[in-house]
Structure 1
Amino acid sequence: MFKSKISPSTLNYLILITVIVAAGISQGLLLPVLSIFLEQQGVSPGLNGLNAAALYVGSFAMTLVAERLLGVLGFKKLIVGGLILVMIPLILFPSWPDIKIWFVLRIIVGIGDSALHYAAQLWVLLVTTPEKRGRYISLYGMSYGLGFSIGPLGIQLLAFGDAVPFLVLFAAMAAVLLLVLCKLPDTKPEKAEHTHLPERRFRSSFTWAWYALLPALLYGYMEAGMNSNFPVYGLRIGYETSEIAALLPFIGIGGLFLQLPLGMLSDRYGRKKILMLAGVGGGIAFMLVPLAGTHFWLTLMLLLIAGGLVGSFFSLGLAYAADILPKVLLPAANVVASFHFTIGSIMGPNLGGQLINWLSPGSMFIMLGLMYLIFGVTGVLFRRNGEEKFVLK
């Protein structure tokens, strides 16, 4: 367990925000660009989704050792290592366009991305006060959403050459790496006494806060599934590549609009109520997307609404877990949330790809919407004594 001595300085927070924007851009760009390449090569949606899931296999591997590595390396070194692991494959993707090599490269990117997220999000959680946690973690989520929205715009760079999107992303990540090396303090978390064995800490955090930790799984499923499968869905129903590139960012843009308002509402009215309402509304919006067909503006509005309502799920879920768990269990809960995110991210491209392949392109949205609807309704079953103790009256 960690007790942070890091001061929440504005500069450090802005650096963390920059790192998360870069991480969002990397995922927002790589998933659809590589999916388009594989679709154009005639790779089946199922195999395409399986290859995309490799990124989250790497993320899962990092999740298993993230807490220990952070204790050994500290925040700065873990972030630097994560950036380097993301950058190296960017040079190799266009050099070796082989699906087997891409599988390995995506695993490496997943390890790096997971390291960045774990260090940054735990830092933010540890230095924010309960009454402001919703808005600060929402700003963190907005930063990722911003990068996630910018990423798919890189599809347009394919017009200048297949390698151009990767090289531009590499240059952006290199600039962020230089900023981290020069400005971020090299601080290690201080270890606190272990009152629980590791496996008991993870079990306890899930038992006490399962409803707060499930949003990470849903967010991972949505994010990876949409970025990997929506390009295939769009091509199958008749959209042009340029239209797909224009539509996909609006999932993240919706999150940008509503992240902070939902975070502030959760500070005022409670995280669970906001998560339940957002889950139901987002689920309905997703299920309506197939009905829009190739009507560009209607699809855009539905993606904007759905993305706005569920785009804050990961951050609000973590804030809710921080409200209802003892602080000593927060690092373990962060690992569980990362684990759930990884599982959802592996499920999303694979299940969505199989649904497109065996049922219909629109079935991926029906499944996604049902998952969010079920989550919203299930909230009535979750009760924790004192769970509203930090909510402002």
Structure 2
Amino acid sequence: MSSTRFTFWVLILVVVIAGASQGLTIPLLAVMLEQQGVSSVANGLNAAALYIGILLVSPWLEIPLRRIGYRSTILCGLLMVTAATVLIPVFSHLAVWFVLRMLMGIGDSGLHYASQMWVTKIAAPERRGRDLSLYGLAYGIGFSIGPLGINLLPIGFWAPFAALTVLYAAAFILLARIRNDFPEEIKATEAGVKKQNRYTTVFRLSWLALIPSFLYGFMETSLNGSFPVYALRTGISIEWVSVILPSFVVGSIILQIPLGSLSDRIGRKRVMFACALVGAVAFILFPLSGDNVWMMMFLLAIAGAAVGSFYSLGLAFATDILPGAMVPTAGIIASMNFGVASILAPNVNGLLIQLWDPRSIFWLMGLLLFGFAAACLFFRTTRSSQETAVAS
């Protein structure tokens, strides 16, 4: 196996661990706060701390990535996530959890940003969609396994967090076996472009490719941060929550690689347009399942199969459109979009649950996906996108 492919597979294994961390901590803490009698709004605000951390650090991630490289940035992020995870069971105060979850968001953002950019760099253009889909698949596998850690609670409050710490140790060992690398240097013609102009150029050329990161962040946080509250208020037991939630990710696992490969052949935009329509219908129909757990799992699996690969498809689309040196900038914008959406989701959903109807969180996700499908009809790309970017 070449060193490049070995690096790729190490990154895949590390992102499985990172996915398991998020997949467990988000619903676990949401359930704990709900059982403590914390309001849905306060619960949503606390969950938003993770994504506030992501949003705060995202604009600056390109600096350490270029100065210390991909692996070093991943290691720094992993160290922060590990420290926060170890400290959460030590404290029980809501404000302390808020700070620790923010720290976890900062570390998680650095880890994912650097690993995504590294995979994007080493992936060959003809299999870029497939490799990024494998990255998304790895995250999905970890994310689907994560909620099962809730079942460790009978052993002790600390048990799920101890399990995560063991996984982090494995990630450190894996990362120690690969060599550091650095992103492509900015060319002289691009170095003259002001930073704010570079962001404007990336937005102008690839705005459609940046929307999926927002949508994925909103959907992921809605399901993992707000669905446990929705379930408890509609009479669904905690045990069923840990089974229902992974169905979304399991659905995405099924089609993650086929959709990535299909996008390599027929284009990212066509694939995302069709997937958005299917996902929108599945979410809007979800409330009609009532208390039928199996129908809930089926509809979430359909939604996951359709839109679970949105983040990776959007990033691959941006990489197709932009020059290589500008892809890290697109990655930062995508990360910020994800953070903004993930902050909005628990707070908007908390208000909807408290002031209107718990089912409205699914109606909102459906409408957002319909809006994206409509945007796909208006977006046009040109063959001179890269030349335009450099000349801007």
TM-score by length of 2: 0.95
User: Is the Cα–Cα contact under 8 Å of residues 323 and 387 in structure 1 kept in the other structure?
Assistant: no
The CA deviation at 1:388 is: 11
Tell me what 1:358 maps to: 355
Against the structure 1 CA distance between its residues 231 and 387, is the aligned structure 2 distance closer, same or farther, given a 3 Å change threshold?
A: farther
Cα distance in 2 between the residues matched to 1:188 and 1:133: 19
* CA deviation string 1:39-78 (max 9, x = no partner): 0111111111111010011111221110001112111111
Offset at residue 387 of structure 1 (A) = 8.8
- After TM superposition, list the pairs within 5 Å mapping 1:274-353 onto structure 2: 274-353=271-350
Query: What residue in structure 1 maps to residue 390 of structure 2?
Result: none
Q: Which residue of 2 aligns with 1:136?
A: 131
SS in 2 for 1:223: helix
Partner of 1:186: 180
Checking the alignment, whether the CA contact within 8 Å between 2:184 and 2:325 is kept in structure 1 is no
- AA aligned to 1:184 is I
Deviations 1:88-136 (A, max 9, x none): 1112111111110000000100011001111100011112222211111
Q: Counterparts in 2 of 1:1-393, with a 5 A limit? A: 9-181=4-176, 183-189=177-183, 191-193=185-187, 194-386=191-383
Question: Structure 1: which amino acid aligns with 2:354?
Answer: N
Residue by residue over 1:4-33, the C-alpha shift from the partner in whole angstroms, topping out at 9 and shown as x without a partner, is xxx862211111111111111111100000
Q: What do residues 197-220 of structure 1 show as CA deviations (whole Å, max 9, x unaligned)?
A: 111111111111100110000001
Runs of 5+ in structure 2 lacking a partner? 387-392
One-letter amino acid matched to 1:55: L
For structure 1, list consecutive stretches of 5 or more residues without a partner in the other structure. 1-6
What amino acid is aligned across from residue 243 of structure 1 in structure 2? W
Q: How many residues align?
A: 382
CA distance in 2, matches of 1:66, 1:213: 17
Equivalent residue number for residue 3 of structure 1: none
Q: Distance in 2 between matches of 1:334 and 1:175?
A: 26
Which whole-Å CA distance do the structure 2 matches of 1:318 and 1:387 have between them?
Answer: 19
* Cα drift, residue 236 of structure 1: 0.6
Distance in 2 (alpha carbons) for counterparts of 1:134 and 1:190: 20
Let me know the Cα RMSD of the aligned residues. Answer: 1.5
Is the Cα–Cα contact under 8 Å of residues 138 and 312 in structure 1 kept in the other structure? yes
Contact map agreement 2:144 2:249 (CA 8 A) in 1: yes
Counterpart Cα distance in 1 of 2:226 and 2:174: 34
Q: Distance in 2 between matches of 1:242 and 1:196?
A: 54
Is contact 2:184-2:324 (8 Å) kept?
A: no
Q: Secondary structure at the match of 1:381?
A: coil
